[in-house]
Structure 1
Amino acid sequence: MTKKPLDLFLPSKAPSHRQKRVAQEIRFCLSTIFLRNEWPVRFDENGDYLKPPALITITDVTLSADLKQATVWVMPLGGEFQSETKLFLESVGGYLRKQISSHLQLRGVPTLKFDIDPSFGKMAQIDKVLKTLSDKSEE
Protein backbone atom coordinates (compact mmCIF):
# COMPACT_ATOMS: atom_id res chain seq x y z
CA MET A 1 0.00 0.00 0.00
CA THR A 2 1.54 3.30 -1.08
CA LYS A 3 1.04 6.52 0.76
CA LYS A 4 -0.18 9.61 -1.00
CA PRO A 5 2.06 12.65 -0.65
CA LEU A 6 0.73 15.25 1.71
CA ASP A 7 -0.62 18.29 -0.13
CA LEU A 8 0.28 21.26 2.04
CA PHE A 9 -1.58 23.76 -0.13
CA LEU A 10 -5.04 22.42 0.63
CA PRO A 11 -6.71 23.07 3.97
CA SER A 12 -6.93 20.03 6.19
CA LYS A 13 -10.64 20.45 6.82
CA ALA A 14 -13.48 22.27 5.17
CA PRO A 15 -14.77 25.30 7.07
CA SER A 16 -17.43 24.50 9.61
CA HIS A 17 -20.98 25.77 9.36
CA ARG A 18 -20.29 28.23 12.18
CA GLN A 19 -17.19 29.58 10.42
CA LYS A 20 -19.21 30.17 7.27
CA ARG A 21 -22.04 31.87 9.16
CA VAL A 22 -19.74 34.19 11.10
CA ALA A 23 -17.76 34.99 7.95
CA GLN A 24 -20.96 35.95 6.12
CA GLU A 25 -22.03 38.18 9.01
CA ILE A 26 -18.64 39.90 9.08
CA ARG A 27 -18.81 40.39 5.32
CA PHE A 28 -22.30 41.89 5.63
CA CYS A 29 -21.21 44.30 8.40
CA LEU A 30 -18.14 45.42 6.49
CA SER A 31 -20.02 45.86 3.23
CA THR A 32 -22.60 48.01 5.03
CA ILE A 33 -19.83 50.22 6.42
CA PHE A 34 -18.15 50.44 3.00
CA LEU A 35 -21.46 51.21 1.28
CA ARG A 36 -22.34 54.00 3.70
CA ASN A 37 -18.81 55.39 3.55
CA GLU A 38 -18.63 55.43 7.37
CA TRP A 39 -14.92 56.01 7.84
CA PRO A 40 -13.32 57.45 10.97
CA VAL A 41 -11.65 60.82 10.77
CA ARG A 42 -7.95 60.13 10.34
CA PHE A 43 -5.11 62.25 9.08
CA ASP A 44 -1.78 61.27 7.58
CA GLU A 45 1.62 62.70 8.54
CA ASN A 46 1.06 65.73 6.26
CA GLY A 47 -2.24 66.59 7.91
CA ASP A 48 -4.34 65.46 4.93
CA TYR A 49 -7.64 63.68 5.54
CA LEU A 50 -7.33 59.94 4.93
CA LYS A 51 -10.06 58.41 2.82
CA PRO A 52 -10.24 55.21 0.80
CA PRO A 53 -8.49 55.62 -2.56
CA ALA A 54 -11.24 53.77 -4.45
CA LEU A 55 -14.53 51.98 -3.95
CA ILE A 56 -13.87 48.61 -2.32
CA THR A 57 -15.44 45.24 -3.04
CA ILE A 58 -15.31 42.50 -0.43
CA THR A 59 -14.95 39.25 -2.34
CA ASP A 60 -14.66 36.83 0.57
CA VAL A 61 -14.03 36.47 4.29
CA THR A 62 -12.27 33.42 5.70
CA LEU A 63 -12.00 32.59 9.38
CA SER A 64 -9.54 30.50 11.32
CA ALA A 65 -10.87 27.40 13.04
CA ASP A 66 -10.89 29.11 16.44
CA LEU A 67 -12.70 32.20 15.02
CA LYS A 68 -9.95 34.52 16.28
CA GLN A 69 -8.54 35.68 12.93
CA ALA A 70 -10.42 36.75 9.84
CA THR A 71 -8.89 37.34 6.45
CA VAL A 72 -10.93 39.79 4.40
CA TRP A 73 -10.30 39.48 0.67
CA VAL A 74 -10.89 42.82 -1.05
CA MET A 75 -10.50 44.38 -4.48
CA PRO A 76 -10.65 48.09 -5.24
CA LEU A 77 -12.93 49.07 -8.10
CA GLY A 78 -11.09 48.86 -11.38
CA GLY A 79 -8.17 47.03 -9.78
CA GLU A 80 -6.26 50.27 -9.25
CA PHE A 81 -4.71 51.55 -6.00
CA GLN A 82 -4.39 48.04 -4.54
CA SER A 83 -1.52 48.75 -2.16
CA GLU A 84 -3.05 52.08 -1.05
CA THR A 85 -6.38 50.38 -0.38
CA LYS A 86 -4.72 47.65 1.68
CA LEU A 87 -2.77 50.22 3.73
CA PHE A 88 -5.91 52.28 4.31
CA LEU A 89 -7.91 49.26 5.47
CA GLU A 90 -5.13 48.16 7.80
CA SER A 91 -5.03 51.66 9.30
CA VAL A 92 -8.78 51.62 10.06
CA GLY A 93 -8.86 47.94 11.07
CA GLY A 94 -9.46 48.73 14.75
CA TYR A 95 -12.42 50.94 13.89
CA LEU A 96 -13.90 48.25 11.64
CA ARG A 97 -13.42 45.62 14.34
CA LYS A 98 -15.23 47.83 16.85
CA GLN A 99 -18.12 48.32 14.42
CA ILE A 100 -18.38 44.56 13.90
CA SER A 101 -18.45 44.02 17.67
CA SER A 102 -21.36 46.43 18.02
CA HIS A 103 -23.37 44.59 15.34
CA LEU A 104 -22.53 40.97 16.16
CA GLN A 105 -22.90 39.20 19.45
CA LEU A 106 -19.73 37.19 19.60
CA ARG A 107 -17.64 36.32 22.60
CA GLY A 108 -14.58 37.67 20.83
CA VAL A 109 -14.39 39.62 17.58
CA PRO A 110 -11.76 38.23 15.22
CA THR A 111 -8.65 40.20 14.34
CA LEU A 112 -9.03 41.49 10.79
CA LYS A 113 -6.35 40.97 8.17
CA PHE A 114 -6.89 42.51 4.74
CA ASP A 115 -5.53 41.00 1.52
CA ILE A 116 -6.03 41.82 -2.13
CA ASP A 117 -7.96 39.05 -3.88
CA PRO A 118 -5.70 37.46 -6.54
CA SER A 119 -8.56 35.73 -8.34
CA PHE A 120 -9.31 38.76 -10.52
CA GLY A 121 -5.78 38.73 -11.96
CA LYS A 122 -5.96 34.98 -12.51
CA MET A 123 -9.31 35.32 -14.28
CA ALA A 124 -7.87 38.02 -16.55
CA GLN A 125 -4.93 35.74 -17.45
CA ILE A 126 -7.26 32.82 -18.21
CA ASP A 127 -9.49 35.08 -20.30
CA LYS A 128 -6.46 36.32 -22.24
CA VAL A 129 -5.29 32.76 -22.97
CA LEU A 130 -8.77 31.68 -24.05
CA LYS A 131 -9.07 34.72 -26.30
CA THR A 132 -5.75 33.96 -28.02
CA LEU A 133 -6.81 30.34 -28.49
CA SER A 134 -10.14 31.35 -30.01
CA ASP A 135 -8.37 33.86 -32.31
CA LYS A 136 -6.02 31.10 -33.50
CA SER A 137 -8.90 28.70 -34.13
CA GLU A 138 -10.73 31.28 -36.27
CA GLU A 139 -7.71 31.67 -38.57
Structure 2
Amino acid sequence: MARPQGQGGKGPTQRQLRVGELVRKELSEILTRGELADPDLEGVIVTIPEVRMAPDLRLATCLFMPLGGGDAKKVETALNRSAKHLRGLVSRRMTMKYSSDLRFVLDTRYDDDDRIETLLQSPVVSRDLDADDAE
Protein backbone atom coordinates (compact mmCIF):
# COMPACT_ATOMS: atom_id res chain seq x y z
CA MET A 1 0.00 0.00 0.00
CA ALA A 2 1.39 3.41 -0.97
CA ARG A 3 1.80 5.94 1.79
CA PRO A 4 0.40 9.45 1.33
CA GLN A 5 3.13 11.80 0.19
CA GLY A 6 3.74 14.83 2.35
CA GLN A 7 0.41 14.55 4.13
CA GLY A 8 -0.60 13.99 7.71
CA GLY A 9 2.28 15.97 9.22
CA LYS A 10 4.88 13.43 8.12
CA GLY A 11 6.94 16.07 6.35
CA PRO A 12 8.25 16.11 2.80
CA THR A 13 9.16 12.92 0.98
CA GLN A 14 12.64 12.18 -0.34
CA ARG A 15 11.41 12.97 -3.85
CA GLN A 16 10.10 16.38 -2.78
CA LEU A 17 13.39 17.17 -1.05
CA ARG A 18 15.47 16.04 -4.05
CA VAL A 19 13.44 17.98 -6.62
CA GLY A 20 13.34 21.03 -4.34
CA GLU A 21 17.13 21.00 -4.07
CA LEU A 22 17.50 20.68 -7.86
CA VAL A 23 15.16 23.64 -8.42
CA ARG A 24 17.02 25.66 -5.77
CA LYS A 25 20.37 24.94 -7.43
CA GLU A 26 19.12 25.95 -10.89
CA LEU A 27 17.44 29.13 -9.60
CA SER A 28 20.61 30.09 -7.75
CA GLU A 29 22.70 29.66 -10.89
CA ILE A 30 20.23 31.66 -13.00
CA LEU A 31 20.17 34.53 -10.51
CA THR A 32 23.94 34.45 -9.99
CA ARG A 33 24.69 34.61 -13.70
CA GLY A 34 22.26 37.49 -14.20
CA GLU A 35 20.13 35.67 -16.78
CA LEU A 36 17.07 37.50 -15.51
CA ALA A 37 16.88 41.05 -16.83
CA ASP A 38 14.68 42.97 -14.42
CA PRO A 39 15.41 46.59 -13.43
CA ASP A 40 14.22 45.96 -9.85
CA LEU A 41 16.74 43.12 -9.47
CA GLU A 42 19.65 45.00 -10.98
CA GLY A 43 22.54 45.19 -8.54
CA VAL A 44 20.73 43.04 -5.95
CA ILE A 45 22.24 39.74 -4.87
CA VAL A 46 19.51 37.23 -4.06
CA THR A 47 20.08 33.95 -2.23
CA ILE A 48 17.70 31.01 -2.38
CA PRO A 49 18.24 29.01 0.83
CA GLU A 50 15.35 26.57 0.35
CA VAL A 51 12.70 25.46 -2.12
CA ARG A 52 9.68 23.60 -0.73
CA MET A 53 7.83 21.40 -3.19
CA ALA A 54 4.14 20.54 -3.06
CA PRO A 55 3.39 16.79 -2.79
CA ASP A 56 2.44 16.64 -6.49
CA LEU A 57 5.56 18.69 -7.46
CA ARG A 58 3.38 21.22 -9.32
CA LEU A 59 4.17 24.16 -7.02
CA ALA A 60 7.57 25.22 -5.73
CA THR A 61 7.62 27.73 -2.89
CA CYS A 62 11.02 29.40 -3.13
CA LEU A 63 12.31 31.08 0.01
CA PHE A 64 14.63 33.94 -0.88
CA MET A 65 16.69 36.52 0.92
CA PRO A 66 18.25 39.64 -0.62
CA LEU A 67 21.83 39.91 0.56
CA GLY A 68 22.22 42.73 3.05
CA GLY A 69 18.46 42.98 3.61
CA GLY A 70 17.77 45.43 0.80
CA ASP A 71 14.23 46.27 -0.21
CA ALA A 72 12.75 42.81 0.28
CA LYS A 73 9.20 43.68 -0.85
CA LYS A 74 10.47 45.18 -4.09
CA VAL A 75 12.60 42.10 -4.76
CA GLU A 76 9.70 39.77 -3.90
CA THR A 77 7.43 41.62 -6.34
CA ALA A 78 10.08 41.47 -9.07
CA LEU A 79 10.71 37.74 -8.58
CA ASN A 80 7.00 36.88 -8.58
CA ARG A 81 6.52 39.04 -11.67
CA SER A 82 9.30 37.09 -13.40
CA ALA A 83 8.17 33.68 -12.11
CA LYS A 84 6.92 32.42 -15.50
CA HIS A 85 10.16 33.39 -17.21
CA LEU A 86 12.19 31.77 -14.43
CA ARG A 87 10.02 28.66 -14.70
CA GLY A 88 10.94 28.38 -18.37
CA LEU A 89 14.64 28.82 -17.65
CA VAL A 90 14.56 26.20 -14.89
CA SER A 91 12.54 23.71 -16.97
CA ARG A 92 15.10 23.85 -19.81
CA ARG A 93 17.82 22.82 -17.39
CA MET A 94 15.93 19.96 -15.73
CA THR A 95 14.52 16.72 -17.10
CA MET A 96 11.08 16.45 -15.57
CA LYS A 97 7.74 15.63 -17.09
CA TYR A 98 6.14 18.81 -15.71
CA SER A 99 7.63 22.12 -14.78
CA SER A 100 6.68 23.43 -11.34
CA ASP A 101 5.03 26.81 -10.87
CA LEU A 102 7.31 29.07 -8.86
CA ARG A 103 6.17 31.22 -5.96
CA PHE A 104 8.67 33.43 -4.12
CA VAL A 105 8.34 34.14 -0.41
CA LEU A 106 10.72 36.15 1.77
CA ASP A 107 12.68 33.91 4.14
CA THR A 108 12.20 35.32 7.63
CA ARG A 109 13.67 32.40 9.58
CA TYR A 110 16.83 34.31 10.51
CA ASP A 111 14.87 37.33 11.71
CA ASP A 112 12.61 35.04 13.75
CA ASP A 113 15.67 33.40 15.33
CA ASP A 114 17.09 36.81 16.31
CA ARG A 115 13.73 37.89 17.76
CA ILE A 116 13.45 34.71 19.86
CA GLU A 117 17.06 35.05 21.05
CA THR A 118 16.38 38.66 22.09
CA LEU A 119 13.25 37.59 23.95
CA LEU A 120 15.12 34.84 25.79
CA GLN A 121 17.80 37.32 26.86
CA SER A 122 15.29 39.90 28.12
CA PRO A 123 15.19 40.57 31.89
CA VAL A 124 11.55 39.46 32.24
CA VAL A 125 12.21 36.02 30.76
CA SER A 126 15.51 35.56 32.62
CA ARG A 127 13.74 36.43 35.89
CA ASP A 128 11.12 33.75 35.19
CA LEU A 129 13.78 31.20 34.29
CA ASP A 130 15.77 32.01 37.46
CA ALA A 131 12.60 31.60 39.55
CA ASP A 132 12.04 28.14 38.06
CA ASP A 133 15.65 27.13 38.83
CA ALA A 134 15.32 28.27 42.47
CA GLU A 135 12.32 25.99 43.05
TM norm structure 1:
0.76
Matches of 2:27 and 2:90, distance apart in 1: 7
What 5-or-longer segments of structure 2 have no aligned partner?
1-6, 128-135
Aligned match for 2:9, one of 4, 7, 12: 12
Aligned equivalent of 1:109: 99
Name the CA shift for 1:15/1:96 in 2 (closer, same or farther; >3 Å).
same
Q: Is structure 2 residue 21 aligned with structure 1 residue 31?
A: no
Q: CA deviation at 1:22?
A: 0.5
Q: Percent identity?
A: 28
Matches of 2:41 and 2:68, distance apart in 1: 17
Kindly tell me the number of residue pairs found equivalent between the two proteins. Answer: 119
What 5-or-longer segments of structure 1 have no aligned partner?
1-9, 43-48
Matches of 2:49 and 2:26, distance apart in 1: 13
- Structure 1 residue ranges (4+ consecutive) displaced by more than 4 angstroms after TM superposition: 130-133
Matches of 2:9 and 2:41, distance apart in 1: 39
1:1-139 counterparts in 2 under 5 A?
12-40=9-37, 49-52=39-42, 54-132=44-122
Aligned equivalent of 1:45: none
Please tell me the residue identity of whatever aligns with 1:120.
Answer: Y
Indicate the structure with greater helix content.
Answer: 2
Please tell me the residue identity of whatever aligns with 1:14.
Answer: G
Q: Deviations 1:2-37 (Å, cap 9, x if unpaired)?
A: xxxxxxxx9622211111110000000000011111
Q: CA deviation at 1:39?
A: 1.1
**Does the 8 Å CA contact 2:40/2:74 hold for their aligned counterparts?**
no
My pick for the range that moved more, 10-19 or 98-107, is: 10-19
Name the CA shift for 1:31/1:113 in 2 (closer, same or farther; >3 Å).
same
